[in-house]
Each structure stands twice: as C-alpha cells, then as structure tokens.
Structure 1
Amino acid sequence: MIRFEQVTKKFPDGTEALKDVSVVFPTHKLTVVIGPSGCGKTTLMRMVNKLETPTAGDIFIDEESITGLEEVKLRRSIGYVIQRIGLFPHMTIEDNVSLVPRLLEWDKEKTAARVEELLKLVGLEPEVYKERYPLELSGGQQQRVGVVRALAGNPNIILMDEPFSALDPISREQLQDDLRNLQQEIQKTIVFVTHDMDEALKIADMVVVMRDGKIEQTGSPQELINEPANDFVRSFIGLDRINRQRTFGERKLKEFLSVFGMEPIGDALQVSLETTIDEAFSKLESSGYANLQIVDDGRVLAYASDRDLVKAALRKEEVENV
C-alpha cells in the first residue's frame, strides 16, 4: 500500500503542483491517476520513488515513511515504465531486461531464468528476441520489453507514466489488454498515469481524478460513471460515456461475448447468458467477486472481469447477438 498524507509540493518558481493531497493506492491493485495537463498527476507519481520530494506532508509505503529511505535503494525496489520506453539501444533485449537484477547482484543463472520467464510472459519468445536490439523491434514490442524490464527485479510497486501514449491505436489497445491480463497474474501495486479516460476506465481497479493539484474523486471505474462527484468529473468522463453505459446497461451479456475472454481469470461468480450488464455489476458488488463465469446449459462460454463489463458498457459500436 502507498499512502500520501497531506502532501504539498511547491516548486521554486512558485508553482504549487500538489495541494494538501491525501490518497491511498491499494496493494495489488492497478490505480490510474488521470487529469488534464498540469494537474499534478506526474508529480504525484514521481514522489513515490523520490524523483520529487514533498514541500510538506509525508508518503508511506506499507506504513513506513519514505523520507528517511536511501534513494538508490528505494528506486531499485520499484519498477518504472515511461512513455519513451528508455531501452538502451546499444544493449540486447536480454541485457536491457537483466539490468536491475545485475545491479541487485543476482547470480547469472537466476538472472537468465528471470529474463526468459518475463519475455515468455509478454509473448516474446526468448530464443527469438533476447539477442536482438531495441531498434529491431516494433514500438509495441519495445514497450513490452520496457514493461518486463520494470518487473525484472520482482518489485512490489510499478510506476507507469503514460507508457502507451506514443503508440498507434491498435498497439495501444493490445498493450492495454496485455497489461490487464498480466496484472491478473502478477498482482503488483501499479500506479499508472494517463490523460486518456477510455484507457483509465478500461484498465483500472481504481481511478484517481485530479485537477489543479487536488484530488476531485477516487473510485472504481463503475463508481465514477455512476456517481461522478461534481461537474468537473462528469465533464471529464464525458456525458457520452455515461449515457452509453445507461443505454447499454440493460443489454445482456450474450451480446458481448466477443468482448470477453475464454481464459479463466481467478475465482468467478457463475451467471447466465441472459444476465444484463447492470445485473452483472450488482451481482458482483453483492457477492464480493471481481469476475464472472458466463454459462449456458452448464457450458462455460466466457469469463469477464468487472473491467470487462465496463468495457462492454462503454462500447461504441454495436455488437452482434450470439
């Protein structure tokens, strides 16, 4: 868990980037920080690994203040993925991914095994890719390497600063899906900064909406859509998204099977094809489950997470009935 307690940040030019911010980033959840340019979201994230320091207030990781922690040691314990990817062009993919394990003085066998494990995790066959150089990979492949490099030292916390914003729409959507699926497996505490509301609603367990250095609202994607805290949040989410969900909420799960997956995604509540989107959200909320198993006559047709339901409810195009 990461906790900000009354944190303020003033820069020498007088800019107040954060104003008495208190917020908790829950353990093993993907929290998206979103807001307009200059709202303080990147400053907030950079404080977690002491790339920025508070003017006032304190930050805690698992109830330990980071104020007295040695910066290099802290940063090596936290994964970091940025928009520009930051791979070293003169180093092979294997050398890029193994950088932090080598700094942590892992032995060669452990490091090599970790590189292979992580490349396989993101669909890059080690024997094909580990001896290649970054410029021999597509943008999407490079960003996958950037993600696994952040995971290489097995950190509990991953910071992601608009990592997909420079990619083409198809690669971006694929990487969003990959990240969501990856998080199901690795269960890290992820802080993800973006300015794209569709991206936030698609991948987040929790969303933090910021404006002018302050937090306007925190909550799940569904909570933000159903109960925006004020006009700013309502406007930032967009009335079209809110209205789409209200319209699609009465549609049935059977209409959205193409959105859902066939791979099991953890403990799941069993529901029928005839369940509506709204009913599915209600069942999940009351049951404590985060996932659904969609069945018809005892046959499993698909699995859906709570975020898959949001994706279905916000889907712009029509979906064919099965």
Structure 2
Amino acid sequence: MIRFDKVTKRFPDGTEALKDVTLDLPARQLTAIIGPSGCGKTTLMKMVNKLENPTAGAIYIDDEPITGMDEVKLRRSIGYVIQRIGLFPHMTIADNVSLVPKLLNWPADKTDDRSKELLQLVGLDPAVFMDRYPLELSGGQQQRVGVVRALAGDPNIVLMDEPFSALDPISREQLQDELRHLQQEIHKTIIFVTHDMDEALKIADTIVVMKDGQVEQIGTPQQLIDEPANEFVRNFIGTERINQKRSFGDRRLKEFAFLFDTDWAGEAEEVEAKLSVSDAHQLLEQSGKPRLAIIDEGTLVGFAGERELLRAALHVEKEATV
C-alpha cells in the first residue's frame, strides 16, 4: 500500500500543488487519479518515485517512509510509463525492454524470457518485434513496448502518466482493454493519471478525484456514479453519464461477452446470458457475491462484476455517439 500523510507541495513561485493530502492507495489494484489540469494529480504521482519531494508531510510504501530511501534504487524498483513513451530510437525493442533487468544484474536468460513473456502478453510476437527498432512500430505498438519496459524488472508498483492520451481513439481503446487484461494476469499496484473520466471508469479499481491540490473523493467507479461526494464530482463525471451508467440498459449480457473476465476463481452467481445488463446489475447487488457467472446454453461465457457491467454501459454509450 502507498500512503500519503498530510502531504503538501509548494513550488518556489508560491504555487501550492498539493494541500495537506492524506490518502491510502490500495496494493495490487489499479488506481486512477483524475481531475482538471493543474489539480496536482501528476505531482502526487511523481512523489511516489521521488521525482518530486513534499514540502511537508510523509509518503510511505508498505509502511516504510520513502524519505531516506536511495532515489536510484527506489526508481529502479518502480515501473514508469509516460505519454511520450521515451523509447531509445537507436536501440532494438529487446534492448529497450531489457534496460532495467540489466541494471538489476539479472542473468541474460532470465531477462530474455521475461521480455518475451511480456511482449506476448501485450499482443506483440517476440519473434517479430524483438529485433525491430522503435521507429519501425506504430504509435500503439510503441506504447505497448513502453508498458512492457516498465514491467520488465518485475516492479511491485507501476506509475502511468496519461500514457494513452496521444494515441488515436482505436489504439487507445485497445490499450485500455489490454491493460485491464494484463492487470488480471500480473496484479501490480498501478497508479494511472488521466484527465479522461470514461478511461478512469473503464480501467480503474479505485478512482481518486482531485481539485486544486486536494482530494474530493476516492471510491470505486460504481461508488462515484451512485454517490458523488459533492457538486464538483457530480459535474466532473457529468449528470448525463451518471444517468446512463445507473440505468445500464436493456441490452443482453451475451452481447458483451468480449468484455467479461474469464479467469475468475472466486464465488459467482450463475445467470443466463439472455438477461439484460440492467437486470444483471440488480441481481449482482442482491446476490452479495462479487461476480456473476454468465451461462449461454449451458456454456460459461465469462464472469462479470460491477466494473464489467459498467464497461458494457460505457460501450453502449460509445456506440450511441458514433
């Protein structure tokens, strides 16, 4: 867990980017930090790997204060993905991905195996891409490599600073889907800064909404939809979006099988795939179980919890705006 305890950040020009922020970010979850430009979200994230230091207060990783930690060792233990990707153009994809493992003195065979495994997970065939150079890849492929490089050293924490915002809408949606799938495989503590509420609702386990250097609300996507803490949060999410997500709609579950989790191993309430998304959400709440097991003519097609049903609602909204 990452903990901020009464953290304030004041820049030399007098700008107060963060104001007495106390916040716990859960381990092994994807937390999205969102808010308008200048709200302090990127400053907050950069404090985790000491790219920014607090003026007052303390930051803890697993209850250990980071103040006395060696900056180089700390940064090598944390993955970092940025909007501009930052791949070295004169180095092959294999060399880009292996940077941190080499700094950590990993054996060559372990580094090679890790690189190939991660490239495969993000849909890039190692046999095709390992020996290519960044300029031979599309923007979306380069960003996938950026994610792989951040994960190559097997960090427990990954920081992602608006990594998909420069991509075209199709590549962005694909990478959002792949990040969710990847997180189901690796279960890292991911802090994802974004200005896009739909992106946050789609990918996050937890969302932190910020304004003027302070936290306005923290909660699950569904909690923000159902119970916005104040007028700012309500307006930032958008009344129309809130109403659409609450209603979920009458489309059938079977239409959204491609959005559902297939690896769930916990408790689940069985439902028929012909059930509407809206009815399924109501049944999920009544069941008290974390997931629905969706059955189509006797065959399991996937598992859906609040996030997956919310993603189905987001998909319907996106269709309506095309």
**TM-score (ref. length: structure 1):** 0.93
The number of residues matched between the two structures is: 318
1:193 is the counterpart of 2:189: no
How far 1:171 sits from its partner (Å)?
0.1
> Unpaired runs of 5+ in structure 1?
none
1:101-140 superposed matches below 5 A: 101-140=101-140
Inter-partner Cα distance in structure 2 for 1:54 and 1:10:
8
How far 1:115 sits from its partner (Å)?
1.1
1:27-66 superposed matches below 5 A: 27-66=27-66
Aligned-partner residue type, residue 60 of structure 2 = F
Inter-partner Cα distance in structure 2 for 1:55 and 1:262:
42
Partner of 1:292 in structure 2?
Answer: 292
Contact kept? 1:88, 1:134, Cα under 8 Å = yes
Inter-partner Cα distance in structure 2 for 1:94 and 1:196:
32
Contact kept? 1:31, 1:207, Cα under 8 Å = yes
**Residue aligned with 1:316, SS:** helix
Which segment is superposed worse, 67-76 or 304-313? 304-313
How far 1:293 sits from its partner (Å)?
1.8
Inter-partner Cα distance in structure 2 for 1:12 and 1:243:
43
1:1-322 superposed matches below 5 A: 1-249=1-249, 251=250, 253-254=252-253, 256-257=255-256, 260-261=259-260, 263-267=262-266, 269=268, 270-273=270-273, 275-281=275-281, 283-284=283-284, 289-314=289-314, 315-316=316-317
* Structure 2 CA distance for partners of 1:242 and 1:110, relative to 1, 3 Å: same
Inter-partner Cα distance in structure 2 for 1:62 and 1:163:
26
**Residue aligned with 2:259, SS:** coil
> Unpaired runs of 5+ in structure 2?
none
* Structure 2 CA distance for partners of 1:34 and 1:95, relative to 1, 3 Å: same
Inter-partner Cα distance in structure 2 for 1:103 and 1:113:
16
- Once superposed, what is the RMSD of the aligned Cα atoms? 1.9
Contact kept? 1:260, 1:303, Cα under 8 Å = no
How far 1:257 sits from its partner (Å)?
2.5
Which segment is superposed worse, 207-216 or 259-268? 259-268
Inter-partner Cα distance in structure 2 for 1:256 and 1:308:
13
Inter-partner Cα distance in structure 1 for 2:105 and 2:209:
39
Contact kept? 1:39, 1:212, Cα under 8 Å = yes
Which segment is superposed worse, 266-275 or 229-238? 266-275
How far 1:289 sits from its partner (Å)?
4.8
* Structure 2 CA distance for partners of 1:290 and 1:77, relative to 1, 3 Å: farther
How far 1:113 sits from its partner (Å)?
1.1
How far 1:303 sits from its partner (Å)?
3.1
CA deviation vs aligned residue, 1:30-86 (integer Å, no higher than 9, x gap):
000000000000000000000001111111100111011010000000000000000
Inter-partner Cα distance in structure 2 for 1:16 and 1:90:
40
CA deviation vs aligned residue, 1:173-193 (integer Å, no higher than 9, x gap):
000000000000000000000
**TM-score (ref. length: structure 2):** 0.93
Aligned-partner residue type, residue 21 of structure 2 = V
Which segment is superposed worse, 91-100 or 309-318? 309-318
Inter-partner Cα distance in structure 1 for 2:193 and 2:115:
26
* Structure 2 CA distance for partners of 1:5 and 1:100, relative to 1, 3 Å: same
**Residue aligned with 2:143, SS:** helix
How far 1:245 sits from its partner (Å)?
1.9
Aligned-partner residue type, residue 196 of structure 2 = D
**Residue aligned with 1:241, SS:** helix
* Structure 2 CA distance for partners of 1:287 and 1:72, relative to 1, 3 Å: farther
How far 1:288 sits from its partner (Å)?
6.3
Inter-partner Cα distance in structure 2 for 1:189 and 1:286:
30
* Structure 2 CA distance for partners of 1:300 and 1:182, relative to 1, 3 Å: same
How far 1:123 sits from its partner (Å)?
1.2
* Structure 2 CA distance for partners of 1:261 and 1:88, relative to 1, 3 Å: same
Which segment is superposed worse, 227-236 or 291-300? 291-300
**Residue aligned with 1:81, SS:** strand
**Residue aligned with 1:27, SS:** coil
